[in-house]
Amino acid sequence: MTTPTVPGTPAVPGATAVPGTPDVPGTPAFPSAPGTADIPSMPDAPGALGTADTPGTPDVPGVPGAPAPLVRFERRGHVAVLTLDRPAVRNAVDSALAAALGAALTELDRDPALRVGVLTGAGPVFCAGADLKALAAGGVVHDPDHEEWGFAGIVHHPVRTPLIAAVEGAALGGGLEIALACDLVVAAEDARFGLPEVTRGLLAGAGGLIRLPRLVPVRAAMEAALTGEPVSAATARQWHLVNRLAPPGHALRAALELAERVAAHAPLSLQAAKRLVRAASGGTSEDELWRVNAELSARLLASRDAREGMTAFAERRPPVWHGC
């Protein structure tokens, strides 16, 4: 069996097609109207999205009685940093965190000034996966108002903006599935990746058993799925599951450096490239890929940014992108 080595996703429910073209499996529409949900606009300084009164969460400094954000949202120029913030439970996902992350991703796509998102976790662990205590109590690990977004508000979320995972510590079970939903992964050298669901009588049903075999050798994916044993960051790098390694404690810093390199380029070109790569790795037919390739190429060629890019090249100066 031959598997592609580029990240891919199955068809995403709710993705909007490019006008005049059918949906391409696994890819959000390009371009489309900003936003997919009616959420409050974000401040320019680090802020909160989708806060919930979670037991054990500290109050927001300076706001007595207010719950701390479950996902912190910070703008750094053209890059947004999204931080899962339940360190007391190793950033395990419950419905409130899923709603917060889904809202943060929506805001990322709605803001035309943001070109790249970096997703990380507070504390020493990226994400330990689903909150099993919440599940055992009858809870869910998706946003009840947006079930179409899937686990953690991300695994089926049609995000146009390139997304980089910055992994410290462990990305296990649903934590790995969150990383697999991202476009690039930067990991600390002591990070670990795994799908331990079989050790709990569960299934890695949030994309782990679908996306992992598209990224790594099939037998490697099968071993990870059947043994439930985690692999080192070095092994994940050899498998091309991880793009870059960083010293322990510096995954976010390295991810931001990568994000800045990506964010230096034309926003519409980035979105189109992401869409086409995901479609190509998701099983879309060759004829359909070439048709969509031609559609996107024509749209970009007619854009203001394409004219700016060519003019800047001729004038030997850095381009100034407008996102249109």
Amino acid type, 223 = E
CA distances from 10 to 15, 34, 60, 208, 260 (A): 12, 23, 38, 12, 28
In angstroms, the CA 73 to CA 45 distance is: 9
Instruction: Say if residue 13's pLDDT is above 50.
Output: no
Structure pTM? Answer: 0.79
Please report where in the chains the tokens 């059918």 appear, as a residue: 22
Judge whether 245 and 223 are in contact, CB under 8 Å: no
308 is catalytic: no
Q: Which of 107, 177, 295, 308 is catalytic?
A: 177
Confidence of residue 232 (pLDDT cuts 50, 70, 90): very high
Distance of alpha carbon 206 from its chain centroid, rounded?
Answer: 13
Of 107, 168, 197, 295, the catalytic one is: 197
Q: Taking residues 291-304, report their average pLDDT.
A: 92
pLDDT on residue 283: 76
* Residue 257: active-site member: no
Write down the pLDDT at residue 64. 53
Q: What pLDDT, on a 0 to 100 scale, did the predictor assign at position 38?
A: 33
End-to-end Cα, the chain, rounded Å: 41
- Residue 25: its pLDDT value, please? 40
Q: Over 80: is that where the pLDDT of 273 sits?
A: yes
Q: Which residues pair with 194 in a beta bridge?
A: 172
Task: Give the percent of the chain with pLDDT over 90.
Answer: 71
**pLDDT at position 66, please?**
59
Spatial CA neighbour of 97 closest among 136, 139, 47, 153: 153
Distance CA 36, CA 127 (A): 25
The Cα 247–Cα 251 span in angstroms is 7
Task: Average the pLDDT over 230-239 and give the result.
Answer: 96
Query: Quick check: 227 and 196 in contact, CB under 8 A?
Result: no
pLDDT category of residue 57 using cuts at 50, 70 and 90 = very low
How many Cβ atoms are within 10 Å of 237's Cβ, its own excluded? 18
Average pLDDT (290-304) is: 92
CB proximity list for 271: less than 8 A, separation 6 or greater: 30, 31, 160, 161, 162
Nearest of 171, 95, 80, 185 to residue 131 by alpha carbon? 95
Question: Whole-angstrom Cα distance, residue 113 to residue 95?
Answer: 29
The percent of residues above 70 in pLDDT, for the chain, comes to 80
pLDDT tens per residue across span 154-208: 999 999 999 999 999 999 999 999 999 999 999 999 999 999 999 989 999 999 9
pLDDT digits (tens, 9 = 90+) for 276-294: 999 888 778 889 999 999 9
Quote the CA–CA distance of 44 and 65 in Å, as a whole number.
23
Question: Can you tell me the mean pLDDT for 6-24?
Answer: 37
pLDDT tens for residues 70-118?
999 999 999 999 999 999 999 999 999 999 999 999 999 999 999 999 9
> Which backbone phi and psi does 16 adopt, to 5 degrees?
-95, 135
